[in-house]
Chain A
Amino acid sequence: MSTSNRKERSAIDRKTIGQIMDENGVGRRRFLKYCAGITALMAMPPGMTAAFAQQLRAARRPTVIYMPFQECTGCLESLTRSFAPSLESLIFETISLDYNHTLQAAAGDAAEAARHEAMEEAWGEYILICDGSIPTRMDGIYGASAGHSFVDQLHEAAEGAAAIVAVGVCASYGGVGAAYPNPTGAVGVSDIIKNKPIINVPGCPPMPEVMTGTLVSFLASGVPELDKHLRPKAFFGNTIHDRCYRRRFYDEGKFAESFDDEGARNGWCLYKLGCRGPTTYNACATIKWNGGTSWPVEAGHGCLGCSEPDFWDQGGFYEPMTAKLFDDTGQIAAGAAAGVAVGAVAAVASNRRKKKLTGAADKETSS
């Protein structure tokens, strides 16, 4: 981007989103409708929509730097499917996405120069989006771009950021890169950066609307309320299981035992087929995927738990959650073994008691 273009864009950046909306002829009710969709996504009371819209209109157009690290581009694929073609695209045109080496036309030195220029201009104010895990083993040699390791690039970009949004389970907690035996020493952003507000938006990939909703809510009201894994509570406040329409079958003890049995055909609970819904916090059950069309459980497959730390290492995807009580060799884990031993002793005792009673009853019958 030329210096004159950048100056012109900087002038635009000083405008509020409301001013840009007015200039583009976006009516207030159209904007309010967009905000109604966002507040509904965030489980905010519907009565808050007008106040949210007012806050968002007053927000300034932010500079956004999108840094990809050890990633597969699935998160970006997901993100791009959130906002076209609708008013959301306009909202995102009002965000100045100054660096994303997958989407931008510039490459090589020109791209790096544009990133540095954008960072300098908005130092201390830009939003840094990180995608992918960061390899740390052997001084980060497993991941490098433009002659610098990802670790160094992250430190540099984080220093001038107002806040960091880690998109995807890899940027949040290491994801597949950090799966056992984690050959590259992959970690999430929050394992390295400790002095900046960090919002994790995990998932493999994250839900598109959760990513855009988090960004828009950050623009309107700053860092949202987060859970212990730094996820916005608005989207990650409930388990999949709590919001699942199949929950009633779990409560009734009705489970599918295989993917083609009567239980599966009747839409019963998928817990025994490995569903991680009870321990997974995400919004899939209510927002759904592909424009609200469906979601994995509705399509007949259990939740994989992709928004949770270490989800790759939680045992087989088609084993019930309790299967992880067993270790790699198939032996029962120590704690579980103790519990099972107690249970086994109780079972033997109970069996003996039963045999004794049966035997006594037999004797009585024969006599």
Chain B
Amino acid sequence: MTQAIPLAIKSAPGKSTTIGGGVQAMAHEILSHLQRLHETGETAAIDLKSLPMAPDEFHGIKKMLGQGEIDLTLELDGPTRIRETAYAGIWWIQHTGKDGRILAEFIEITRFPDFLGAQPDQIADAARHLRDRLEKQSQGAA
């Protein structure tokens, strides 16, 4: 029997972090979304770039949410980093351009980020390509 890959939480939620006014307000918003996700399955996202936050508050939220098991970086015209926070179901997603400029930054409250899932039209194209390939192969065999 294969053993489970030992994944560990890299940093515990920042218990020692003093939660200021702005951070506290956002923490409550995230909590209400997380409860709704648990009870109804409804997902939510918070656009961090649209919030007028001081740099300290921004880092305060990041520190408070901590780092979970998953930390992915995709190379798509600049890195896109998808991190699960120390709280299951809360994801931190950062899209960066080639020049290092942050294009978009979200907190998503969901089982897994929508960005990772295949889109319906992508799936349809993939099915068509695979069918064509199999048909060509079977014609070749005949």
Contact = CB atoms under 8 A, between A and B. Distances in A.
Contacts of B44: 47
A43 B95 contact: no
A247 interface: yes
Interface string B30-55: 00000000000001111101101110
A36 B104 contact: yes
Contacts of A43: 47, 50
A27 B118 CA distance: 11
B107 to A, nearest CB: 9
B43 A47 contact: yes
A45 B74 CA distance: 23
A33 interface: yes
A45 B45 contact: yes
A37 B101 CA distance: 11
B59 to A, nearest CB: 14
Contacts of A285: 52
A236 to B, nearest CB: 14
Contact of B106 (A30, A46, A286): A46
A33 B106 contact: no
Contacts of A39: 104
A33 B76 contact: yes
A80 to B, nearest CB: 15
Nearest to A288: B49
Contacts of B106: 36, 40, 46
Interface string A39-51: 1100101110110
Nearest to B54: A245
A47 to B, nearest CB: 6
A37 B121 CA distance: 21
A337 interface: no
A292 B101 CA distance: 7
Interface string B16-37: 0000000000000000000000
Contact of A292 (B95, B102, B121): B102
A85 B47 contact: no
Contacts of A247: 52
B20 to A, nearest CB: 12
B115 A36 contact: yes
A30 B76 CA distance: 5
A147 interface: no
Nearest to B75: A30
Given A28-B122, A47-B45, A37 B53 contact: no
A136 interface: no
B35 to A, nearest CB: 18
A287 B51 CA distance: 10
A232 to B, nearest CB: 15
Interface centre among A30, A43, A46, A50 (most CB of B within 10 A): A46
Contact of B53 (A46, A47, A54, A245): A245
Given A43-B47, A46-B106, A47-B45, A33 B80 contact: yes
B101 A291 contact: yes
Given A29-B74, A37-B104, A54 B47 contact: no
Given A37-B104, A47-B45, A287-B49, 4 more contacts: A29-B76, A40-B49, A46-B108, A286-B52
8 contacts: A27-B76, A28-B121, A29-B74, A34-B77, A36-B115, A40-B49, A46-B46, A245-B53
Interface of A: 27-30, 32-34, 36-37, 39-40, 43, 45-47, 49-50, 53-54, 57, 85-87, 243-245, 247, 285-287, 291-292
